[in-house]
């Protein structure tokens, strides 16, 4: 079969990214303009600023990507774009850019769900085989997905409130260690010990998660210590928090794997970079003879390469959009 080159665009949050991906598995070129430094000043992503930055960056990012790949638009087979979920103003910039390229160069336009992109980041590592369970853990999502076959998605469960990354970011803010909080808390947890007792969230038999209660427990603990004039050990708090997160994630993921009798697990999303979650799931999978894989760290956080990987399978399935394609802030996986 002829090689398929997808030019992909991702702008759902605070990264403007363009990538060219061959056959859904080879990263030919990736360019990411990150806005983290700008949003750090505000302790989180400011949607209006994010969309203005995307507007500033998008043309340059696409041009840089084509230059890096030493390719022209003539050699591109299709254009894939994240159309949702995400920040509406941010998504719009990528969607309009993709629609314009598709129209000018007469290339098929392939809509990609952001979470499907995170899942297919795994295909950049090694070819995904089915059936599998995908655990999606990011700043906006915490979901367990069953994939019976290629590009088939069945959501088993999700967070009922905060996403796991969001809870990391909020806990980091409470203890004053900056944004984005996930990597900092993860690093601190490595030197801490499990000192504080925190509640295990939604400790039931469902595939759903809940992190807002855990976050509130950390906030209450922090205020309580402050009022009593006692200093909290931040590293120990980070470790205590991370242990509970890892425990709940491992328990629910294992339940999904056993119930569905599936021997493959893939982890996706920004929080897949977390060392505690990686180690915890690795151990659980080894104990049950389950093959567990993760994307490279650089493909865990938002990037267009993963959209190009997912875009290839969507393209193969014949999924197409036209100039009526609209950005959607919330859109179901299935």
- 7 near ligand KG4 (CB under 6 A): no
Query: In the complex, what is the shortest distance from the CB of residue 74 to ligand KG4, in angstroms, rounded to a whole number?
Result: 32
- 243 near ligand KG4 (CB under 6 A): no
Helix ranges (DSSP H) in 142-211: 164-174, 181-191
- 43 near ligand KG4 (CB under 6 A): no
Cα–Cα distance measured from residue 55 to residue 89, given in angstroms and rounded to the nearest whole number: 10
Cα–Cα distance measured from residue 141 to residue 144, given in angstroms and rounded to the nearest whole number: 10
Cα–Cα distance measured from residue 202 to residue 150, given in angstroms and rounded to the nearest whole number: 31
- 138 near Zn ion (CB under 5 A): yes
- 301 near ligand KG4 (CB under 6 A): yes
Query: In the complex, what is the shortest distance from the CB of residue 259 to ligand KG4, in angstroms, rounded to a whole number?
Result: 26
- 10 near Zn ion (CB under 5 A): no
Tell me the torsion sign for CA atoms 318, 24, 64, 72. negative
Please name every residue paired with 12 in a beta bridge, in sequence order, or none if there are none: none
Query: Site for ligand KG4 (CB under 6 A): which residue of 6, 7, 9, 13?
Result: 13
Q: Which residues contact 291 (CB under 8 A, 6 or more apart)?
A: 263, 264, 265, 285
Query: In the complex, what is the shortest distance from the CB of residue 180 to ligand KG4, in angstroms, rounded to a whole number?
Result: 4
Query: In the complex, what is the shortest distance from the CB of residue 103 to Zn ion, in angstroms, rounded to a whole number?
Result: 27
Query: In the complex, what is the shortest distance from the CB of residue 1 to ligand KG4, in angstroms, rounded to a whole number?
Result: 31
Query: In the complex, what is the shortest distance from the CB of residue 48 to Zn ion, in angstroms, rounded to a whole number?
Result: 20
Cα–Cα distance measured from residue 201 to residue 211, given in angstroms and rounded to the nearest whole number: 6
Residue number with CB closer to Zn ion (138 or 159)? 138
Query: Site for Zn ion (CB under 5 A): which residue of 27, 166, 169, 302?
Result: 302
Binding mask 191-230 for ligand KG4 (x = CB under 6 A): ----------------------------------------
Query: Site for ligand KG4 (CB under 6 A): which residue of 84, 94, 117, 165?
Result: 165
Please name every residue paired with 143 in a beta bridge, in sequence order, or none if there are none: 136, 158
Please name every residue paired with 82 in a beta bridge, in sequence order, or none if there are none: 112
Query: In the complex, what is the shortest distance from the CB of residue 165 to Zn ion, in angstroms, rounded to a whole number?
Result: 9
- 269 near ligand KG4 (CB under 6 A): yes
The residue ranges of DSSP E strands in 181-301, in sequence order, are: 264-268, 291-293
Question: What order of strands is seen across the sheet that includes strand 264-268?
Answer: 154-158, 142-147, 132-137, 264-268, 291-293
Residue 134 backbone dihedrals phi, psi, to 5 degrees: -110, 130
* Interface residues toward ligand KG4, by CB under 6 A: 13, 138-140, 165, 168-169, 180-183, 186, 269-271, 273-274, 301-302
Which residues of this chain interact with Zn ion, rule CB under 5 A? 138, 302
């Amino acid at each position: 079969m002829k090689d398929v080159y997808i030019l992909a665009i991702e702008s759902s949050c605070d990264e403007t990214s363009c990538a060219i991906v061959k056959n859904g598995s080879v990263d030919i070129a990736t360019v990411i303009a990150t806005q983290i430094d700008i949003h750090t000043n505000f302790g989180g992503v400011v949607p209006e600023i994010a969309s203005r930055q995307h507007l500033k960056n998008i043309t340059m990012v696409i041009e840089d990507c084509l230059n890096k790949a030493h390719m022209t638009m003539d050699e591109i087979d299709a254009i894939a774009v994240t159309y949702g979920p995400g920040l509406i103003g941010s998504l719009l910039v990528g969607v309009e850019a993709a629609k314009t390229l598709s129209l000018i160069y007469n290339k098929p336009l392939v809509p990609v769900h952001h979470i499907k992109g995170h899942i297919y980041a795994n295909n950049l590592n090694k070819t995904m085989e089915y059936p599998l369970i995908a655990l999606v853990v990011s700043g906006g999502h915490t979901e367990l997905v069953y994939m019976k076959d290629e590009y088939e998605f069945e959501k088993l469960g999700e967070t009922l409130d905060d996403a796991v990354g969001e809870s990391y970011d909020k806990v980091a803010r409470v203890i004053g260690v900056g944004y984005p909080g996930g990597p900092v808390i993860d690093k601190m947890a490595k030197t801490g010990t499990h000192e504080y007792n925190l509640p295990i969230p939604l400790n039931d038999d469902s595939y759903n998660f809940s992190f807002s209660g855990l976050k509130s427990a950390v906030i209450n603990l922090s205020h309580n210590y402050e009022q009593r004039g006692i200093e909290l050990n931040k590293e120990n708090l980070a470790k205590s928090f991370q242990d509970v997160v890892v425990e709940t994630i491992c328990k629910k993921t294992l339940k999904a794997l056993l119930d569905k009798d599936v021997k493959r697990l893939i982890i996706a999303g920004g929080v897949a970079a977390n060392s505690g979650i990686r180690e915890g799931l690795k151990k659980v999978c080894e104990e049950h003879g389950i093959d567990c894989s993760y994307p490279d760290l650089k493909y865990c956080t938002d990037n267009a390469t993963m959209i190009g990987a997912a875009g290839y399978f969507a393209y193969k399935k014949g999924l197409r959009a036209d100039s009526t394609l609209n950005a959607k802030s919330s859109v179901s996986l299935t």
